[in-house]
Amino acid sequence: MSNLQKIILFSVIGLILGIAGTYFVIDTQSRAQTGDSDAQLLALQEELEQVESIVQGKQQMILYLENEILRLENEVAYLSINLNQSEIQEPQNQDLIDSLETQISDLEEQVALLQSPSFSNSTEVQILEEQIETVLSINVTFHYVWTQSMSEVSTDLTIPVGDYWEYTKKNRTMEITDWVSMCKDPGDDNIIDQMAESFEDTATSEVFSDYETVNYILSFIQNLPYTEKNETIPWDNYSRYPVETLFEMSGDCVDKSILTAAILDAMGYDVALLVMEDVKHVAVGVARGTGFNGIYYDVYGTRYYYAETTGEGWWVGQKPSIFSLETVHVYPLKED
């Protein structure tokens, strides 16, 4: 059983037992071995979407029933007024009075019948919402393992399912300016800061230069599996926020570059997205660090050194030869 399957299994058990805030651990090595965790992740997403859809349907039903009850109550009130007027103005018209009384009685019975399923639906919605909250309160701890200079290294990161789920619901486009905004979205600062702090701690303990620090981070990013969009999601033109890439432990060049830029930006580096529109490829530019050399792009006197986020073994300043003749557009994260 894969770790994603365990998440779903334990989530169901947690819902049954009423247990919230459960911890789960996912190891990137285990994920790579199973090969089906993307499908399991989609199953979890679909399950949550189905529950949300049920809740929305129940809420719409409640609204309809409440409106119907209100309409019937108003009709009862109207008929009651007519009945009183008939009693006052035409006490001899017993047939009219009997008819109005019958209508009122029938309507009151309809109201009573509608009120019962309305209460039942409200209860069901509350139960479903509690189940959703239980799932979203789960914390998942990821144990990332990768290779750096022939050595195995690792780091841990805890992501609340609720934070991840919130980002999957965000709107996004293929506009490059939106990608820059995604790098700097404040909603995931606590998670990105965790990663930045972990990398900074390693850099300090190992006495890394800026060049070595950035290469260390690149090795982490490059070791995340490269995933084409149509392999993991049912729609096109979809770019992931950093939290989504960390949670799904995979991404394409856009996703990986957005994540890399977000981490480096949190660590104080001057970074940019490097976009090659002709071949639909994206990398990262890193500036103002010691020891950088190789390929760079000058923007008003600032040199952004090329940093490849796909494949493995590419260091700062090294650019794959297949992109050597491509036109590169530079989009700095910092504001002018």
pLDDT tens figures, 13-23: 344 334 344 44
Separation CA 159–CA 85 (nearest Å): 67
Instruction: Please give the pLDDT value at position 94.
Output: 59
Domain match, 318 and 202 both:
yes
Q: Which domain holds residue 101?
A: 46-135
Domain match, 91 and 200 both:
no
Considering the domain boundaries, does residue 2 fall inside one? no
Considering the domain boundaries, does residue 22 fall inside one? no
Between 80 and 300, residue with greater pLDDT: 300
Instruction: Please give the pLDDT value at position 106.
Output: 63
Domain match, 184 and 321 both:
yes
Domain match, 199 and 281 both:
yes
Domain match, 240 and 102 both:
no
**Global pTM exceeds 0.95:** no
Considering the domain boundaries, does residue 288 fall inside one? yes
pLDDT in tens, 259-284: 999 999 999 999 999 999 888 899 99
Domain match, 189 and 237 both:
yes
Q: Which of 135, 161, 196 is the last residue of a domain?
A: 135
- What's CA 155's distance to the chain center, in Å? 22
Residue among 334, 317, 167, 178 nearest 266 (CA): 334
Separation CA 96–CA 228 (nearest Å): 74
> Is pLDDT at 203 greater than 70 in this prediction?
yes
List the CATH number of the domain containing 184.
Answer: 3.10.620
Domain match, 131 and 177 both:
no
Domain match, 303 and 205 both:
yes
pLDDT in tens, 160-195: 988 988 998 888 877 788 899 999 999 999 999 999
Instruction: Please give the pLDDT value at position 76.
Output: 62
Whose tokens are 């609340």? That residue is: 160
Instruction: Please give the pLDDT value at position 268.
Output: 94
Please state the domain count of the chain.
Answer: 2
Between 39-48, 69-78, 269-278, 305-314, the lowest mean confidence (pLDDT) is in 69-78
Confidence of residue 319 (pLDDT cuts 50, 70, 90): very high
Considering the domain boundaries, does residue 181 fall inside one? yes
Separation CA 244–CA 74 (nearest Å): 50
List all residues 6 or more positions away from 312 whose beta carbon is below 8 Å from its beta carbon. 219, 222, 223
Residue 142: what residue type?
Answer: F
Percent of the chain with pLDDT over 90: 40
Domain match, 256 and 192 both:
yes
Q: Which of 64-78, 90-104, 116-130, 298-312 has the highest mean pLDDT?
A: 298-312
Q: Which of 112, 135, 158 is the last residue of a domain?
A: 135
Confidence of residue 157 (pLDDT cuts 50, 70, 90): very high
Instruction: Please give the pLDDT value at position 13.
Output: 37
In the 3-class helix/strand/coil scheme, how is 177-212 assigned residue by residue?
Answer: HHHHHHHCCHHHHHHHHHHHHHHHHHHHHCCCCHHH
Q: Which of 59-73, 86-100, 145-159, 234-248 has the highest mean pLDDT?
A: 145-159
Instruction: Please give the pLDDT value at position 44.
Output: 72
